[in-house]
Amino acid sequence: MPEHAQERVLGHTTLERRSSQGLRFVLQVSRFPWGEDPVPWLTGIVLAADEVGFAGIALMDHLIQIPQVERAWEPIPEPWVTLGLLAGLDTGLELGTLVTPVTFRPAGVTAKAAATLDALSGGRAFVGLGAGWWQREHAAYGLPFPPPAARLDAVESAITTMRDLWAPGTKAKGDLPETTCYPRPVHDIPIILGGAGARTLSIGARMADAVNVSTRYVDRALAAVAGTDVKITVLDVEDGTRSRYGALAAQGVDAVFLAPPDLRRPDDLARLAPVLV
């Protein structure tokens, strides 16, 4: 099992799990081959992830399963509802999305969902946030899909709105006439901004707790956040080796969101234990 330590993680202090190489590993669940029994499959995966040493669970936030993962008619559950189920399990796993597009719902509604999840889980929620990219799911669900610049404007506004609603007290703040959001989060909910574009990295360096990129953009992301407390995390869709993850840790990566491409059953996670210890 990974070592446990009190450290600052993605902007908050928590009892956390890190590998001996200094990395946190979060299981990114992107496909859901649960057959006729969604709840046993989900809970089995999460309990197995806790057992082998993952630090958290992240769910994609998509309305239709994306072609990079599975066929469009495969299940892809609404993440905040699903995370509420997982919060009731007896684990210490951090729980959140990677990532929630700002185009799907008003930022205040996402803030409310995350605050509720944080209260129910005893301070284990995080929010992965992104500008959105897949026009098809927006059209299919009747959602506007603004141009890139407008979506990035919405990312900045969303981060401000969420932090204002999570702050102590009820008062007018910024564009909000009041900040009545109860229950309040138990801790400072980390915001992880996904994307490696120049403006996204600039927003992340100024406003987020962490920036998530693919492994090939680590150097770019590290340069963008240099001189700040913003962490760099990566999304990895392969089963890597300890030497590969050690190299990422040496570069300065804080956490790996690991999305095994062939996760079918809870016992499939056992093979990942060597990279988590």
For 98-123, the pLDDT digits (tens) are 999 999 999 999 999 999 999 999 99
Residue 241: predicted pLDDT? 86
What percent of the chain has a predicted confidence (pLDDT) above 90? 89
What band does 10 get if pLDDT is binned at 50, 70 and 90?
very low
Q: Is the pLDDT of residue 254 over 50?
A: yes
Q: Is the pLDDT of residue 246 over 50?
A: yes
Rounded Cα distance between 263 and 277, Å, is 20
Residue 237: predicted pLDDT? 87
Q: Is the pLDDT of residue 14 over 60?
A: no
- Structure token digits, residue 242: 């300890």
Residue 184: predicted pLDDT? 95
Rounded Cα distance between 61 and 96, Å, is 10
Residue 15: predicted pLDDT? 54
Q: Which residues contact 29 (CB under 8 A, 6 or more apart)?
A: 45, 57, 58, 59, 60, 259, 263
Q: Is the pLDDT of residue 2 over 50?
A: no
Please write the tens of the pLDDT for every residue from 121-134.
999 999 999 999 99
Residue 277: predicted pLDDT? 84
Q: Are strands 3-9 and 12-18 parallel, antiparallel or unpaired?
A: antiparallel
Threshold 0.85, pTM exceeds:
yes
Q: Is the pLDDT of residue 11 over 50?
A: no
Residue 4: predicted pLDDT? 32
Name the nearest CA neighbour of 26 among 234, 238, 242.
Answer: 234
Rounded Cα distance between 91 and 26, Å, is 14
**Architecture of the structural domain at 3-276:** Alpha-Beta Barrel (3.20)
Q: Is the pLDDT of residue 168 over 70?
A: yes
Domain boundaries, the chain: 3-276
Q: Give me the residues paired with residue 126 across strands.
A: 96
